[in-house]
């Protein structure tokens, strides 16, 4: 069974994907990490984030297993990843790794922006997670506070809106729900309720 979870920044899709993967005993790939690691490699080489050739080389050179998640999940890396991810050739360079992961025997859970539309258009279950920008900014603020990072709510909300715009308005695999995706609005749901709703969507698909 392949489960595709897409949605905007801080929608909760990562947590849902992790929990669904644990619940169904499936491997999980957070595809945002691939774009974050590509951006991190460029920054390490002092390259411009819009240098397509360098970005493609960095994407091709990624090892899926040795990510420094703590560094990659920092705020500024999300922004850098969003810039790198807007370049078509970079996305092309990362397709095979994602599809290979999805093709594991037994299936997999992948989360990102284009899993249901481009990477796994034949996924068994597609969930598109949404939440209001304010709810997402609030969650991100709590996360950062828990990690002891300094933040300012207005700045976080602005970053989320900017990232939404960049991820949805780009021409290469823009963020949008697949026609057969089930929409899950988590604005008013806590993580338990959101997980329950996601689990029901999966069970309903299995039942059919």
> Closest separation between CB of residue 106 and ligand DC, Å?
22
Residues 122-141 that bind ligand DC (CB under 6 A): none
Output 95 or 208, the one with its CB closest to ligand DC: 95
Positive or negative: CA dihedral 71, 73, 76, 79 = positive
Residues 14-53 that bind ligand DC (CB under 6 A): 31-32, 35-36
Residues 69-88 that bind ligand DC (CB under 6 A): 78, 81-82, 85
Q: Which of 5, 16, 140, 167 binds ligand DC (CB under 6 A)?
A: 167
Output 95 or 206, the one with its CB closest to ligand DC: 95
Q: Is 62 in the site for ligand DC (CB under 6 A)?
A: no
Q: How far apart are CA 79 and CA 126, in angstroms?
A: 25
Q: Is 125 exposed, middle or buried (0-12, 13-18, 19+ CB in 10 A)?
A: buried
Output 93 or 206, the one with its CB closest to ligand DC: 93
Of the candidates 202, 197, 175, the residue with the CA atom closest to the CA atom of residue 186: 197
Q: Is 68 exposed, middle or buried (0-12, 13-18, 19+ CB in 10 A)?
A: exposed
Q: What is the DSSP letter of 12?
A: S
Q: Which of 3, 5, 21, 113 binds ligand DC (CB under 6 A)?
A: 113
Q: Which of 163, 178, 182, 195 binds ligand DC (CB under 6 A)?
A: 163
> Closest separation between CB of residue 40 and ligand DC, Å?
11
Torsion of CA 54, 66, 37, 10, to 10 degrees: 170
**Interface with ligand DC: number of residues (CB under 6 A):** 14
Could you list the residues that contact ligand DC (CB under 6 A)? 9, 31-32, 35-36, 78, 81-82, 85, 112-114, 163, 167
């Amino acid at each position: 069974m392949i489960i595709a979870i897409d949605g905007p920044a801080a929608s909760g899709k990562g947590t849902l994907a992790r929990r669904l993967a644990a619940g169904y005993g499936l491997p999980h790939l957070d595809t945002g990490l691939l774009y974050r690691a590509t951006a991190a490699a460029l920054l390490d080489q002092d390259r411009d984030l819009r240098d397509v050739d360098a970005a493609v080389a960095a994407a091709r050179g990624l090892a899926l297993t040795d990510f420094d998640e703590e560094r990659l999940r920092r705020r500024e890396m999300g922004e850098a990843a969003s810039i790198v991810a807007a370049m078509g050739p970079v996305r092309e360079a990362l397709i095979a790794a994602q599809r290979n992961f999805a093709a594991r025997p037994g299936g997999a859970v992948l989360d990102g922006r284009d899993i249901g539309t481009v990477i796994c258009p034949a996924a068994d279950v597609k969930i598109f997670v949404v939440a209001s920008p304010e709810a997402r900014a609030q969650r991100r603020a709590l996360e950062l506070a828990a990690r002891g990072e300094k933040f300012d709510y207005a700045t976080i909300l602005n970053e989320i809106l900017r990232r939404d715009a960049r991820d949805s308005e780009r021409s290469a695999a823009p963020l949008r729900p697949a026609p057969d995706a089930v929409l899950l609005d988590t604005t008013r749901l806590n993580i338990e309720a959101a997980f329950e709703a996601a689990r029901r969507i999966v069970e309903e698909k299995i039942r059919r």
